[in-house]
A = this chain, B = another copy of it.
Amino acid sequence: MDKKTAQRSKHVRGTLNTSRIMEAASELFYLNGYQNTSMDDVAASLSVTKPALYYHFKSKEAILLACVQDAFDRFQGLMQAQALSAASGRDRLCVFLKNYLVITTGNFGISLVLSEPHVLSPEGRKLYVRYRNSINRQLMQILTQGISDGSVRTGDPTLTSYAIFGMFNWAAKWSPDKPEISNDEIFEHFMSVILSGIDGDTRPEQEGPKSGAAP
């Protein structure tokens, strides 16, 4: 019945399939960028040759879009796993951003965040923009709800969403280079900035010892 046939060489712990190709490709995409990663690179990292990839994917772009879709689906899965429709906008924002950070700092997530629409075909771009717009709309809706229920205080939710996405999308870019900074640290700090700001003259009751902030 089941034959794992692990008599292959190398660290190949399985047969070639779409998942393994996506993992290898996304790893290279996030290390070197999509355009700087050739199909030969992907193939070599899997110890196969290029046409083997084309047996499983019809194009290089198809691999990228599969990664995008996978990251998007995982994100939606995380969001649905935490049904918080009754919570305040601000609390939903926290959950949303936590999930967003988890996804976008993962390997597949970088494809979802950092793909340049320029490099995609018209159809691919359409799909990509659809995913991004869906996520954008969710954040907008959360912010709008927060404004309604009073848990969020901001002017234009559109500009606010841009500011928030900027912080987190950029984090997806540098976080691979800063493994010493954990996702939890990033999340806590960014949420603090987003929620409380950094102005030192307005002092909310968050008074603490002025201990040297260990620069």
Contact = CB atoms under 8 A, between A and B. Distances in A.
Contacts of A185: 156, 159
A118 interface: yes
A51 interface: no
A38 to B, nearest CB: 13
Given A116-B33, A118-B36, A211-B153, A198 B162 contact: no
Nearest to A117: B33
B171 A168 contact: no
A65 interface: no
Contacts of A174: 162
Pick the most buried of A153, A198, A204: most chain B CB atoms within 10 A of its CB: A198
A2 interface: no
Given A163-B189, A174-B162, A189-B160, A198 B198 contact: no
Interface stretch (A3-11, A68-76, A78-86, A142-150): A142-150
Q: How many copies does the complex hold?
A: 2
A174 to B, nearest CB: 7
Interface residues of A, number: 57
Given A185-B159, A189-B155, A198-B160, A214 B119 contact: no
Contacts of A213: 147, 150, 155-157
Interface in A184-213: 185-186, 189-190, 192-206, 211-213
Contacts of A150: 200-201, 211-215
